[in-house]
Structure 1
Amino acid sequence: MAHQIFSKSVRFIEARLSPGGEFGLHLTAGVALLALAMAVLHELAEAVVGQAGITVLDQQVADWFHRHAFEPLTGFMRLVSYLHTGAPMVLMVLALAYYFWRIKARYWMLALLVATPTGAILNVAIKYLIQRPRPVFEQPLVSLLTYSFPSGHTAAATIYWGLLASYLVMVRPEWHARLLAVLLSVGMVLLVALSRMYLGAHYLSDVLAAMAESVAWLAIWITAMSTLRRRREAQQRALAN
Structure 2
Amino acid sequence: MPQPKKGPRLASSPAHERLMLANMATSLFANGRITTTLPKAKRLRPLAERLITFAKRGDLHSRRRTMRVIRDKSVVHKLFTEIAEQMAEREGGYTRITKIAPRRGDNAPQAVIELVTEPLSAKQSVVKEAESATKVAAKDEAAEVNAAADAAIAEGAADQAVEQAVEANETGENVQTADQAAIDLEKTADQADQAEASAQEEADVAEDAEKADEDK
- TM-score, normalised to structure 2, is 0.30
Of structures 1 and 2, the one with the larger relative CO (CA 8 A, separation 6+) is 1
Larger radius of gyration: 2
- TM-score, normalised to structure 1, is 0.27
| Structure richer in strand, relative to its length | 2
